[in-house]
Amino acid sequence: MDILHYTEAHQTFRQRVREFLEKEVTPHVNQWEKDHITPKEAWRNMGRNGFLCTWAGPEYGGMGGDFLYSVIVTEEMARTNHTGLAAMLHSDIIVPYIQAFGSDAQKQKYLPGCVSGDIITAVAMTEPGAGSDLAGMQTTAGIDGNDIILNGTKTFISNGINADLVIVAAKNPAEQNPYQALSLYLVEDGTPGFERGRHLEKMGFHSQDTAELFFSNCRIPKENLLGQPGMGFLMLMEKLQQERLMCAIGAQAASELMLEWTVDYCKKNKDASGKPLSKSQATQFALVEMTTEIKMSRAFLDKLIASHAGGENVVVETSMAKYWITELANRTSVRCLDFFGDFGLTEDCPIARAMRDVRVMSIFAGTNEIMKGIAAKFMGL
C-alpha cells in the first residue's frame, strides 16, 4: 500500500510538468550552466503554465493545490539535472512567508507576481559571520519616523541576482535579546541603498545565481515589515520544517535519478570481457545496496510528507530526514560515478554535475550537524 495517495489529477499534473520541462527547460540547461544564471523568461514561462506556488488560491492566480503538487514539481525539476530554475526555493520556502505572515495588502501586491513568475524571490539570512546561528546576525534595522533603515551584508543568497523581492532578516540594535531582536522585511529590487555584490562562483549549482547583497542606509517604509516586529526568529523556526522537508525531497529525487542513470548505463555498457556491467556480481551487489537504501529513505520521507501535509509537527523527524537523505545523495553520487569510468570525468556524464550539485545539500537549510543537534535535544541527550 502506498503511503501517499496521488489522484488522477495529480498524475495528470505530473505528466504535464514533465512534458513541459522536457520541452522548455532541459534543452537549455547546458547553456544556463555556462552562463551561471537562468533567464527570467524561464521563470515567467513556469509561472504562465501554473508550476509556481501551486498552493496559492485562485484569488492570487494560483490553482489552490495541496502539498503533493509541490512535491511533484520538485521531483520533476530534479530530472532536469540543474538547480538554476529554483522553483522549490521560490514556491515552497520563500513565498510561504508572505502567505503566512503578510498583511492583506502585501499578499495582494506580491503573491500574483510570485505565482506568474513576474516576481522572483530570495531570502537573505546568511551573513559572512553568521550562517546556521541566526543569533549571530549583524544586519540592523533602525527606525527613522515612518521608515526602516537597513544596514548590513548578506552572502550566499540564492536567486540573489535575479530577485525582484528579497525577504531580509535584520535585528533591532536596541533589543539585547538576539532572538527577540530579529524581524523580517520586504525589500524590492531598485530600492536605494540595496545593491548586489559578487555573483559567486561555486563548485556546483552553476546555473543558480548566488550572490552577495549589501544594504547601506537602505530605506524602506514601515509597511514593508513582514509580520510582527521581534517575531522574525519564531517565524523562521515555524517555516523551517517545510524548508528542510523540501530539501530532503530534492535530495531523494536526485538520489533516485542518479541510480536510474547508473542502472541504465550498467545494462547498456560492457566490461572488458564483453559482458554487460550489470552481469558482474560486484556491480549487482553495489546497485542492490544503493537501491535498498534509497527505497528505505523513500518510505521514511513519504511518511513525513503525509504527516506534514496533515498539519502534524514533525520537526525532529524532518531534521533527521534532511540529514540522512542529503548524505545519502552524496554517497550515491560518489558510488554511481565509479561505474562510469573515464566517461564519469567528462561534462557529458550527468553524474558529474549531479555530484557537484548535491554536495551543498548537507550544508544549506541548516547544516547536518545542526540537524543532529536538534534530534539529540529532543531525545533528551
What residues are annotated to the active site?
A: 243
- Residue whose grid cell is 546561528: 133
**Residue 46: other Cβ atoms inside 10 A:** 24
Joined together, the cell numbers standing for residue 64 give: 489552490
Do the strands 182-188 and 165-171 form a parallel or antiparallel pair, or are they unpaired?
Answer: antiparallel
Q: Are 244 and 371 in contact (CB under 8 A)?
A: yes
Between CA 50 and CA 6 the distance in angstroms is 18
Return d(Cα 88, Cα 157) in angstroms, integer.
15
Instruction: Map grid coordinates 530526514 to a residue.
Output: 321
